[in-house]
Copies of this chain bind each other. A is one copy, B any other.
Amino acid sequence: MAQAEDIVRIGLLGAGNVGAQVARTLVEERELISARVGTPVKLIGVAVRDPEAPRDWKIPGELLTTDAEALVDEADLIVELIGGYEPAGALIERALRRGAAVVTGNKALLATRGAELDAIAAETGAVLRYEASVGGAIPILRPIEESLSGDRITKVMGIVNGTTNYILDQMDTTGAAFGDALAEAQKLGYAEADPTADVEGHDAAAKAAILGTLAFHAPFTLDEVYCEGISQVTADDIEAAAASGYVIKLLAIAEKHDDGAVLRVHPTLLPRTHPLASVRGAFNAVFVVAENAGELMFYGQGAGGKPTSSAIMGDVVATARRLRASVAETPTVPAGAHLPALPIERATTQYYIDMQVADREGVIAEIAQVLADHHVSIESMRQPGSVSVEGEVESGESLGAQVQIVTHLALEKDLDATVKQLKSLDVVKSVTSVLRVEVEK
């Protein structure tokens, strides 16, 4: 393995939705990834079924191969993104048996043969990691395995399938029947042509088995998970639930009892105030309850090539770090790293400005001009003092009026200059508040 040499040679199996993004990162970001690992990494080959097939990112021809086995025998670290049971299972086993590290997102395989593959890895000292198999981009397995390793997890409960969450969401918001929502999801690419694995809960059940295994430190397999899908959920169910303040979600639940664990996947009513109730569309979220930590929630994109590739690459970097013989740890902050801390004037955010102004014509125009002069554009403006509850504007009063502005993204420096000039205007009596606003991200 890499101990002998100075470079970590990576072999990628599969270049579909996720694999193509991993190939892109390993090629385009090779320097960054090598720096993160602390030793150079190199993508030495990409095994696919059809080298001519079009891909989301064009893979250099010399990397493509159809001989997956030869690639497995060459690499220090294998990234398996073919999916399904075979040939993925045999290829992973082959890699582990020769002591090569394996990173995969293959939940179906892990939920059936996970313990067996772990045992092979333990035998040869190989590393097997699979963060991407549950919750796409969401770091959930590593937090369970490491951050919570000194605690007792009692329950894990998550929305771990984006397809069913999208369908239930559509049914909830539009009143659509299951069949119509499914057809819509298929049209938009959120559901596969054969939606069985998602709709009947099998995909979520595989994830429940993986979550239960890591949370409770004992192996559980797919066939031990009680599984009910969403195909029986009717528009009436959703409507009745909504009328009582509930929303229906497909949850994967792993629950510890004194003498074992119950693993289950089924449509579940959640009060609309529950943190999981507002998880929409293709987003995933996993709730974890532990004795000391209490309630935790992890939220993010549950699928998609790019998000999933982030989880794969995290495993690749962490695993590659471990393959180095000499240094115990690659520091997150390399020695001598420097990035300037920029002054607040360089911040770009939205702003809320609340001011008292003279209540006469032309005031708004004058204020707007000041903002425009400083390249600060206005997202919204309100005059709460002069608008009655019925929405009628009562202008022309002699008392001052209130004006509230929310700007678009602006530079703090420009905002400062804007506020300074606003304060100097005759028509502005006072600037009561200037606050920053974060809308999304």
Residues of chain B within 8 A of A348, CB atoms compared: 255
| Interchain CB contact under 8 A, A268 and B333 | no
In A382-441, which residues have CB < 8 Å from any B CB? 382, 384, 404, 406, 432-433, 435-441
Whether A202 is near chain B, meaning CB under 8 Å from some CB there, is: no
State which residues 353-371 of A face B: CB under 8 Å. Answer: 354
A268 touching B437 in the complex, CB below 8 Å, given contacts A217-B333, A292-B313: yes
CA distance A268 to B441 in the complex (A): 13
Interface pair A269/B300, CB less than 8 Å apart: no
Contacts of A157 in B (CB 8 A): 438, 441
Q: In the complex the two chains form, is A260's CB within 8 Å of B340's CB?
A: yes
Given A243-B384, A299-B275, A331-B118, decide whether A150 and B317 contact each other with a Cβ distance below 8 A. Answer: yes
Interface residue from B143, B146, B263, B338 paired with A219 (Cβ < 8 Å) = B338
Q: What is the 8 Å Cβ interface bit string for chain A, positions 1-35, against chain B (1 contact, 0 not)?
A: 00000000000000000000100010000001100
CB proximity of A271 to chain B, nearest CB, Å: 6
For residue A124, give the distance in angstroms from its CB to the closest CB of chain B. Answer: 11
- Whether A36 lies near B149 (C-beta < 8 A) is yes
Q: Does A266 contact B (CB under 8 A)?
A: yes
* Nearest-CB residue, chain B, relative to A270: B438
A239 to chain B minimum Cβ distance, whole angstroms, is: 10
The yes or no answer to A95 lying at the interface (CB within 8 A) is: no
- Say yes or no for A197: interface residue by CB 8 A criterion: no
| CB atoms of A150 and B218 under 8 A apart | no
Q: What is the bound-complex CA distance between A313 and B316, given in angstroms?
A: 26
Is the Cβ of A318 less than 8 Å from the Cβ of B435?
no
A90 within 8 A of B: no
B331-A269 in contact (CB<8A): no
Is A328's beta carbon under 8 Å from chain B? Answer: yes
Contact B143 A240 (CB under 8 A): no
B149 touches A317 (CB 8 A): yes
A441 close to B289 (CB less than 8 A): yes
- Chain B residues contacting A436 (CB-CB under 8 Å) are 266-269
Q: From A154, which residue of chain B is reached at the shortest CB distance? A: B441
* A341 within 8 Å of B (CB atoms): yes
Contact A337 to B218, CB < 8 A, known contacts A151-B314, A295-B300, A352-B269: yes
Asked if A322 contacts B333 (CB within 8 A), the reply is no
Q: How far is the CB of A174 from chain B (nearest CB, A)?
A: 19
B217 touches A334 (CB 8 A): yes
Q: Does A214 contact B (CB under 8 A)?
A: yes
Chain B minimum-CB-distance residue to A329: B127
Given A146-B314, A310-B148; A296-B300 close (CB under 8 Å): yes
What are the residues of chain B within 8 A of A438 when measuring CB–CB?
Answer: 157, 251, 253, 268-270, 274
Chain B residues with Cβ under 8 A from A234's Cβ?
433
Residues of B contacting A297 in the complex (Cβ-Cβ under 8 angstroms): 297-300
15 A-B residue pairs with CB within 8 Å: A137-B290, A139-B143, A142-B143, A142-B146, A143-B143, A225-B341, A240-B354, A244-B406, A251-B438, A255-B348, A257-B342, A260-B340, A261-B341, A262-B344, A294-B307
Starting from the known contacts A25-B292, A149-B318, A262-B342, 7 additional A-B residue pairs (CB-CB under 8 Å) come to A125-B328, A142-B143, A218-B333, A237-B354, A260-B340, A292-B309, A297-B297
A-side residues, CB < 8 A to B, are: 21, 25, 32-33, 36, 115, 118-119, 122, 125, 127, 131, 137-139, 142-152, 155, 157, 213-214, 216-220, 224-226, 234, 236-237, 240-241, 243-244, 246, 248, 251, 253, 255, 257, 259-264, 266-271, 274-275, 278, 287, 289-290, 292-301, 306-307, 309-318, 322, 328-329, 331-335, 337-344, 346-348, 352, 354, 380, 382, 384, 404, 406, 432-433, 435-441
